[in-house]
Amino acid sequence: MPLVVCTGLNSHQGPHLELLKSAGFDVRYEAGKSDFYQPANLIAAVHDAAAIIAGSEPYSADTLSKLPKLRAFARMGVGFDAIDVPACDARRIVVATTPGVNHHAVAEHTIALLMAVARGFPARDQQVRAGAWKRISTPRIMGRTMGIVGLGRIGQATAVRAIGLGMRVIAFDPFPNQDFATANRIEMVSLDEIYAQSDFVSLHLPMSKENFHLINATTLAKMKPGSILINTARGLLVDEQALYDALKSGHLAGAGLDVFEVEPLPTTSPLLEFDNVMFCGHLAGLDHESHHDTLKMCAEIILMLHRGDWPKQCVQNLVGVSDWKW
């Protein structure tokens, strides 16, 4: 039977293993055994794979050309910008994601970062550890404005939580769900209005050519003085040099960052000098429930494809293809 290689974080256990093995698949776990951001290591780990349960490791066109048996990716999560989709199209490799399983996890993580930075962390933690007992007030979060950029599943889940905190929520989305916005009294506005009005700007857009460095020197300058940027979406949405400059000048009061232009974030990054920035290593979508459901869906996608079914809601490429076969 075909080999499924698991390269996604913590995929060494979960419901996917029994589902795949009971269907006769061979399953091998490779995550964490080497640095998969080095192409040679990644190729060695997945060379014989017919399907990959993938994390955020990069699959370039060159890497894909060295994987002769590969038929499908089941990506843990909803982002797939680390995979060269045109190259997959050319090789008729399915790129599938797991929508609808981690939006609550990302929303909670977003609010955690927002609350932490707004209340003065990580500086307050560092001060106590250093024996410095400083008591400085911060603005109350209730009543302040949160601007959500991208009102899809994750943006909606974040909005509901922000409203629950007593915040005013405004949002931008290129294809807005007006019924949701109306029901939750969310005003849909332009991006410029998001920047001008928001005390917190939270990013929830996918990565695309149009969205590359959406947050840059120009857009940061439009943000309210003293506002805070939260990014739990994709690192390449933010020009990190421009963000550094905005933090250094004091124009921004802080930031909460789960994703970065280069991952893992290099220890030489100048962003690390700030004690008003909270960092996390691309973990927003990971909680026990989402992890279980994501792995289960990954296995179900692979099983469907192998028996000739087409999980349309999960497949992100091969548009118009009707004759794909395993």
CB atoms within 10 A of CB 139: 12
Q: Are 91 and 68 in contact (CB under 8 A)?
A: no
| Separation between Cα atoms, residue 271 and residue 156, nearest integer Å | 29
Q: Are 1 and 24 in contact (CB under 8 A)?
A: yes
Q: Are 32 and 11 in contact (CB under 8 A)?
A: no
Q: Which of 234, 291, 300, 306 is catalytic?
A: 234
Give the distance from CA 32 to its chain's centroid: 19
Q: What are the φ and ψ backbone dihedral angles of 178, each rounded to 5 degrees? A: -65, -30
Give the distance from CA 4 to its chain's centroid: 24
Q: Which of 108, 193, 261, 263 is catalytic?
A: 263
| 263 annotated active-site | yes
Q: Are 106 and 158 in contact (CB under 8 A)?
A: yes
Identity of the amino acid at 144: R
| 234 annotated active-site | yes
| Separation between Cα atoms, residue 203 and residue 257, nearest integer Å | 10
Q: Which of 204, 282, 291, 306 is catalytic?
A: 282
| 140 annotated active-site | no
Q: Is residue 247 helix, strand or coil?
A: helix
Which residues 6+ apart lie within 8 Å of 229 measured at CB? 200, 201, 203, 215, 220, 223, 238, 243, 252, 255, 256
Residue (of 266, 280, 188) closest to 231 by Cα position: 280
Active-site residues, by number, are 234, 263, 282
